[in-house]
Amino acid sequence: MADSRLNMAERDVQPMFMKSIDFSGLFVGAAILAAFVPIRALPDRRPQPPAEIHLGYRSVALPATAGPLRVAGAWAMTGTDRRLGGLSALTIDRGRFLAVSDLGAVVLFDPPAAPHPKARIVDLVQGPGPIGRKWARGAESIARDPQGRGWWIGYEQRHSLWLYDAQFRTAKAAVDLRAMNWSDNRGAEALVPADGELLVVSENGRSAIRIGPGAPRILNLNAGVDIADAATAPDGSKWVLLRWRGWKGIGQAVARLQPSRDGYRVGKRIAVPKAPLDNFEGMTFTAGADGRWRIWLLTDDGHRLMARNLLVALDFDLPVGNGKSPAGRAGLSRKTAVDTP
């Protein structure tokens, strides 16, 4: 499969029975299942002009978990614009976080350390299908273009990649991914630059695509579970945010993405501290002056009442000089503000 080719091209864009029942477990399970029910036609909306809003951050507690990841901070995010919900993917642009919304918008927002945090929200006016329709503009992934031409955004439902300029005003090109035959709600969940090309990771954790100057190459991916996002660590290694669901909630972990004979596989899972209903869909890395790493995670509330918009900072807690990746004690120095990207 490593040598497969996908017939698509970059193109210019036009304008069981139980003796007893644990009702609390059933309640959580039902909520988890509901969180993954596709909402093709909802929530639709009308296009809106760009807006800058005040962003509220409220500290929240997360359950402790065994493993090397330590919670350095967790905040619930609030704002007055509906487009702030349904966030996916996470990266950093000039000191601010950047995410996409399943309502067809991009959100550039300040970290919790900012004196007066704000978020700038811009509709993706150009894209697949009519603007404002969930089934047409469900943006799920974002990555900087390896060639410096702007930003790539991945869409589900109408599976495609679109390249936008730096301000997201104009779409420059698009790649049609419908030949992958992905399910409507399970498409290009993660994008990450790789060796001058763009690596596209499918949500089902079974395939990846390398897009570069030549024909796109389809590769195998052995993740075992779903992929929610991918990011590049400070040492250049690629990491994925994993996700699975069960009656006890949504389970998640991070793992290194490693080359395999015919594509990619994932390394050892490192559990992520989280509440059962939190659904992390965005991940990015930062590094302190001493080389320590920090992972930032962002949840997708799915526009549902029981879900939350969270921004979480996690530091690795590994012994100094362990010789493994991440090298040294990964994370940021305690002298560094925990909420500075």
Handedness of CA 131, 132, 138, 140 (dihedral sign): positive
Q: Does 340 fall in a domain?
A: no
Find, among 150, 137, 225, 224, the residue nearest to 191 by Cα: 150
pLDDT (tens digit per residue) in 81-109: 988 988 999 999 999 999 999 888 999 99
pLDDT at 135: 58
Say which DSSP state 83 is in.
G
Q: Does 339 fall in a domain?
A: no
CATH number at residue 89: 2.120.10
Q: Is 60 a residue whose pLDDT tops 70? A: yes
pLDDT (tens digit per residue) in 258-317: 999 999 999 999 999 999 999 999 999 999 767 789 999 999 987 666 679 999 999 986
Instruction: Round to whole Å and give the CA distance between 85 and 308.
Output: 9
Give me the torsion for CA of 235, 339, 123, 85, rounded to 10°. 110
Looking at per-residue pLDDT, the higher value among 32 and 308 belongs to 308
pLDDT (tens digit per residue) in 192-207: 999 999 999 999 999 9
Give residue 64's pLDDT band: very low, low, confident or very high (50, 70, 90).
confident
Q: Does 325 fall in a domain?
A: no
Q: Does 335 fall in a domain?
A: no
SS3 134: helix
Tally of domains in the chain: 1
Domain housing 71: 4-11+23-316
Find, among 308, 326, 281, 255, the residue nearest to 74 by Cα: 308
pLDDT at 341: 64
Q: Does 140 fall in a domain?
A: yes
CA distances to 124, 133, 226, 230 from 41, in Å: 18, 7, 24, 27
Looking at per-residue pLDDT, the higher value among 59 and 103 belongs to 59
pLDDT at 318: 56
The least confident of 44-48, 157-161, 317-321 is 317-321
- The mean pLDDT of 133-144, rounded to a whole number, is 81
- The mean pLDDT of 144-149, rounded to a whole number, is 96
What whole-number percentage of the chain has pLDDT above 90? 59
pLDDT at 137: 75
Q: Does 185 fall in a domain?
A: yes
pLDDT (tens digit per residue) in 233-245: 999 999 999 999 8
Q: Does 329 fall in a domain?
A: no
Instruction: Round to whole Å and give the CA distance between 206 and 227.
Output: 9
Q: Does 326 fall in a domain?
A: no
pLDDT at 157: 82
On average, the pLDDT of the chain sits at 82
